[in-house]
Chains A and B, each alone.
Chain A
């Protein structure tokens, strides 16, 4: 059973702090990793994708991938109240013709306090 694990939170950080969201996955040969943000009552929207070991930065967001440890994280610098949402980690399945299919974690709920 391929799995993606996230701490469900809630994770509470003060405005301006760094929020750190973590995700582990079970399929050692997964190739692509995604972070989606989902506001309450809305659909998921892509924040970051990462495919290679190391860091990838986009504005206030940094994704980090460590394939050896099967671990991917998302850092949000200078957190804002508008960042309050549930963050979903998704990993591609890596078998047969289903390599584009994604397995999602349950999500981590982030609350940024003003």
Chain B
């Protein structure tokens, strides 16, 4: 596979469930990002990992828990979510997290919380 992949592509979960989103990049990058995209809102940066170290937590509620076991994989663990957490969750990667670098996005996971 090439680029950035995400699984699952669609997810429906209840508020008491626990689920995980997975992101994998095949670009040899070292920086990975989680974004949330809700209707009529700009893309919101959630977490950033650079060389497996978390460098940004953009005031995200603790019901979202990221994990980055290596530079190619990024997870977002979800538990006791709220209906307002329903959104498109996008993963992205860039070479080193530098200011002149392009971020490449995965296809996203469409999440619905009931």
- Which residues from chain A sit less than 8 Å from chain B, CB to CB? 4, 31-32, 34, 36, 42-46, 49, 51, 88, 90, 92, 94, 97-107
Contact B107 A43 (CB under 8 A): yes
CA distance in complex: A43, B9 (Å): 12
Query: Which residues of B have CB within 8 Å of A90?
Result: 43
Smallest CB-CB separation from B110: which chain A residue? A41
- Residue in B42, B90, B101 whose CB lies within 8 Å of A100: B101
B55 within 8 A of A: yes
Contact A44 B99 (CB under 8 A): no
CB distance from B54 to the nearest CB of A (A): 11
Contact A101 B56 (CB under 8 A): yes
Residues of chain B at interface, number, CB under 8 A: 26
Smallest CB-CB separation from B100: which chain A residue? A32
- Residue in A43, A92, A104 whose CB lies within 8 Å of B99: A92
Besides A31-B99, A51-B100, A100-B50, 6 other CB < 8 A contacts? A44-B43, A90-B43, A98-B48, A98-B56, A100-B31, A100-B96
Contact B98 A99 (CB under 8 A): yes
CA distance in complex: A51, B102 (Å): 12
CB distance from A110 to the nearest CB of B (A): 17
Smallest CB-CB separation from A5: which chain B residue? B42
Contacts known (A43-B106, A100-B94); A107 close to B99, Cβ less than 8 A: no
Query: Which residues of A have CB within 8 Å of B99?
Result: 31-32, 92, 94, 99-100
B45 within 8 A of A: yes
